[in-house]
Amino acid sequence: MTKIVHLSDIHMAPAGERVVGFDPAARLAAVVEAVNAEHADAALCIVSGDLADRGDEVSYRRLAPLLAGLVPPVRLMLGNHDRREPFRRVFPEAPDDGAGFVQEAIDLGALRLVLLDTLDEAAPSAGRLGSARLAWLEKALAARPDAATLVFLHHPPFPLGIDYFNAMLLEDGDRLEALLDRHPQVIHTAFGHVHFATCGRSGRRSFSATRGTCHPLHPLPAGLSARYVDRPPACDVILVDGGRVVVHPLEVAPADAVVARETADGDGGPGSITVFRPATS
């Protein structure tokens, strides 16, 4: 079984600045600590974009040492808030697909991960792949048709039933979905961008979105307003075993949030439970 940690939407800002009332550095630091404590054995940590809130070099330089503290190896992707030139100045080792896009295919034994660059710097929120990036993806998938494959991107390629995001999706999501349909080895897609956790199925593929580390959103199905809520930062832990994909949303819990602990007895019984304090609700 291969473990992958999926982070997204860090929205790093210069020191002393908050984003929608949240401290992005402190929240990322909490996630890094949790990943290192509980999931240091992950094969990879993928950060699927919106690394910096304004795509500025100062924020990328503030981000770099925090990400360097992760025990699992890290791969970075770009979102609509990012900018390629300042990003590459701070992360010169980032992949290049030959056309300047931050895209790569990673082989983990029998598993292949494909990381896409959906940033369209001319658009404020929507994403775009375009013909060149889609052609690169076609080749990346054709290279290992027998390898179970997960595709990561920043923007959802299809509507999620939330009006607020309908104008912020991947512009050519239909083309992407049609391409993936031609490659049945793609078993799962994972993305960020929406700031809430969701999952489901699109055609033959499952999908998941991680809530992200910075400002969580409480989705409303109708209307064009968003409500950001005071909840802990989060990431996803993705477990892949052949054609099986299991996604565990991980919400960082401070030590004082633990109200009880149960130790199982190994045969499915209740085991032993220790209650530390009453829950507040």
- Whose CA is closest to 258, among 273, 248, 272, 237? 273
* pLDDT on residue 275: 78
Residue 153 lies in a domain: yes
Residue 162, domain extent: 2-275
Q: Is residue 148 included in any domain, yes or no?
A: yes
What pLDDT was estimated at residue 278?
A: 78
Name which of 232, 160, 231, 230 is nearest 193 in CA terms: 160
Token couple for 65: 């040492």
Nearest Cα neighbor of 29 from 76, 73, 63 is 63
CA distance 204 to 6: 22
Sign of CA dihedral 245, 107, 42, 272: positive
Residues of the chain where predicted confidence (pLDDT) is lower than 70: 266-270, 281
Residue 141 lies in a domain: yes
pLDDT at 219: 87
How many domains does the chain fold into? 1
- CATH number of the domain enclosing 191: 3.60.21.10
* Largest distance between two CA atoms of the chain: 58
Report how far residue 215's alpha carbon sits from residue 238's, in angstroms, rounded to the nearest whole number. 21
How remote is the C-alpha of 217 from its chain's centroid? 15
The model carries a pTM of 0.94
Quick check: is 66 in a domain? yes
Q: Does residue 64 belong to any structural domain of this protein?
A: yes
Look at residue 159 and tell me if it is in a domain: yes
pLDDT at 268: 67
- b/e per residue, 138-171, with b = 16+ CB within 10 A? eebbeebeebbbbbbbbbbbeebebebbeebbbb
